[in-house]
Chain A
Amino acid sequence: MNSPALSVRNLLRLFRNAAEPEAMPVGVRNVSLEIATGEVVGLIGESGCGKTTLGRCIVGLERPDSGEVVVGGTDFTALSGRDRRAFRRNVQVVFQKPETSLNPRMTVARFVGEALANFDVVPRGARRARLEMLAGLVGLNADALERYPHQLSGGERQRVAIMRALASEPQVIVLDEPTSALDVSVQAQVLRTLKALQAEVGTAMLFISHDVAVVRYVASRVLVMYLGVIVEEGPADAVFTAPSHPYTRALLAAAPRLKPSGDEAPPMHGELDLRAARSGECPVRPRCPLAHDRCREAPPMADLGDGHRAACWLADDLNKQSSEPTYREKTAS
């Protein structure tokens, strides 16, 4: 892998709950990750696991407590003021909710045009042509440029949001559940557009989602997050066919499929409970069906080869078990 488009090092951002000082603070704990140019990395995890916070720290909408966000050799977190504003050009974001992702008082052309003007991407005279090019890229008609958000459908609005993110020609785009608020059919269209864009533009993307199927469709590499830490990561094929962390297995087993085999991996106990989690031990322990004494000590990342890693004492065994043909047959959708 040549130098990555994005590299996040030991990113820490915690939110303490003043009402419950005993509970584990939520957020992101010392997460490190790298995304190569042209790579789409999926980040999955349930609500409240810190995936949105991680995304907001990467795009500079949130200041991390510590750690680095390095894009093209520059640490974004070290910049401030004018430099920081100018640097935003390199890291863009697409949000989840189509109803609030666009300014209701601005036409598409003005809203997206701001990025072109602020970063001086193209000379003034060429902006209109660039807007039309961008509209075509995300699958919008040129006449949508003069519309206000209320005149667009949810899918069209998300296309505009993607168009805005592309306008500054970023090196990295963080997509925070860009399709989860859309109808399934529209979701499929937007995902297809994203995939085509990927082939055409080649921007690195971090695709955040709680939808396993969606990540499986777009991402070539996957990160699984639980309570602020990455518990498993690896090539999408490896993670999805041979999940080696109990949490990943439960997450995949919980994903709806057409033909349930009836004996998927054992589910997690209960819901994410911050009061049960203790720092220093494995964060999944209170809910893990395979938890045992050793889990009172946080497990290291076990290397399973080919970039596939899982933070579990049993990772090797689980990996072997998942790789067995019988297990694969049962979980294949």
Chain B
Amino acid sequence: MAMASEIGVAGEPMTAAAKLPASRDSSWRRIYARVFAGDPLGLAGVVILAVLLLVAAFGPLLATHDPILTTPDTLLPPSGAHWFGTDDFGRDVFSRTLVSLRIDFIVASVGVTGAILIGSLIGLVCGYRGGWLDDTLMRFVDIIQSFPLILVAMVLVLAIGPSVGSIVIVTVLINIPLYARVIRGQTLAVKHLDYVDAARCSGATELGIMFRHVLPNTLNPIAIHASLNLAAAVGNVAVLSFLGIGIRPPTPDLGVMVAEGTKFLVQGAWWMSICPGLILCTTIFSLNLLGDALESGLDPRRQDR
């Protein structure tokens, strides 16, 4: 081509760039460096969370006893045989804690994932289309947000009965507003950028523009919100179970265990509440540490720290 000779000058910076590995690997390493370098607390959060997730995944295999088998050995304090002691039915508290971690993680993460999917979709449509659709959907989101969590949970549990499913639905519902608002705001900022107009000129349909050009560029803040939100969701599941409107006994659940244990606190059987309670605290704490690390690491305004 006639232009090739001219291009020589422009080609120089390009060949320099060609030496950079453009693989996914390097971008993960970059994220790691940005988020966790010089942030030992964030790193600690990730490590603790990883351990807890492994425990949740392999809980039943690691359990030293059958978590729902009742035995005559009731209310034994922590010992070599029962690390977290036993409860009023003689069940091993350690084994029950391991198993409950899994269900609590699943309920919280399915709930948060559902909220991200539905909330993002609402936010995207509202931000992109605007007008009456935006007004209507966002008022609906306001209404959800104005109800207290416990009230929504109680109404739902009355309507569809207490089950793992209803807890998931409650978790989805109460977290929709967060994601709807975040994505709506991002969409409003992104939809007027030049590349969106360029895509329109390239003949993209409105749906194509929304899902290929706008949505992928609004998702950055989701990682931060999701990890903090997951912490809150784990707590909420426990709170609902504690109040008896969540996961029902005999299914092992951290909130249920803490609740049942309180009845025996006065008798001095502290381990029934405190042991699963500490695990619950550690879970929420590690998620919060991760969220904080992501927030300060991924926020472009704080990159210069």
Residues of A at under 8 Å CB distance from B? Answer: 59-61, 85-86, 88-89, 91-93, 95-97, 100-106, 111, 114-115, 118-119, 136-137, 139-141, 143-144, 146-148, 151-153, 155-156, 159, 161, 164-165, 167-168, 186, 189, 192-193, 196-197, 200
Smallest CB-CB separation from A112: which chain B residue? B202
Q: How far is the CB of B188 from chain A (nearest CB, A)?
A: 15
- Residue from the list B1, B6, B197 in contact with A61, Cβ < 8 A: B197
**A-B residue pairs in contact (CB < 8 Å), sample of 5:** A88-B201, A100-B193, A111-B195, A114-B204, A147-B17
Task: Kindly list chain B residues whose C-beta atoms are within 8 Å of the C-beta of A192.
Answer: 6
Give min CB distance, A173 to chain B, whole Å: 10
Q: Closest A residue to B13 by CB, please name it.
A: A153
Contact with A along B162-206 (1 / 0, CB 8 A): 000000000000000000000000000000011101111111110
* Residues in A neighbouring B13, C-beta threshold 8 A: 153, 155-156
B199 and A114 within 8 A (CB)? yes
Q: How far is the CB of B148 from chain A (nearest CB, A)?
A: 38
Q: Are A139 and B6 in contact (CB under 8 A)?
A: yes
Instruction: Tell me if B159 counts as interface (CB < 8 A to partner A).
Output: no
Q: Which residue of B lies closest to A149 (CB)?
A: B195
Asked whether, in the complex, the Cβ of A104 is within 8 Å of the Cβ of B10, the reply is no
Contacts of A139 in B (CB 8 A): 3, 6-7, 10-11
- Chain A CB within 8 A of B18 CB: yes
Q: Knowing A101-B198, A102-B195, A189-B9 are in contact, say whether A156-B14 is a contact too (CB < 8 A).
A: yes
Q: Does B266 contact A (CB under 8 A)?
A: no
What residues of A have a CB within 8 angstroms of the CB of B1 in the complex? 136-137
User: Of A86, A95, A196, which contacts B194 at CB under 8 A?
Assistant: A95
Nearest CB on A from B260, distance (A): 49
CB <8 Å contact, A141 and B14: yes
Chain A residues with CB below 8 A from B212, complex form? 103, 106, 114
**Additional A-B contact list (9), CB under 8 Å, known A95-B198, A148-B22, A151-B20:** A61-B197, A89-B203, A93-B197, A95-B197, A96-B194, A101-B195, A115-B202, A140-B14, A161-B198
Q: Which residues of chain A are near B3, meaning CB under 8 Å?
A: 136-137, 139, 193, 196-197, 200
Known contacts being A103-B195, A103-B213, A147-B22, is A193 close to B203, with CB within 8 Å? no
CA distance A119 to B202 in the complex (A): 8
Q: Are B201 and A59 in contact (CB under 8 A)?
A: yes
Q: Are B202 and A167 in touch, CB under 8 angstroms?
A: yes
**Chain B proximity of A134: nearest CB distance (Å):** 11
Identify which of B11, B20, B195, B201 contacts A100 (C-beta below 8 A).
Answer: B195
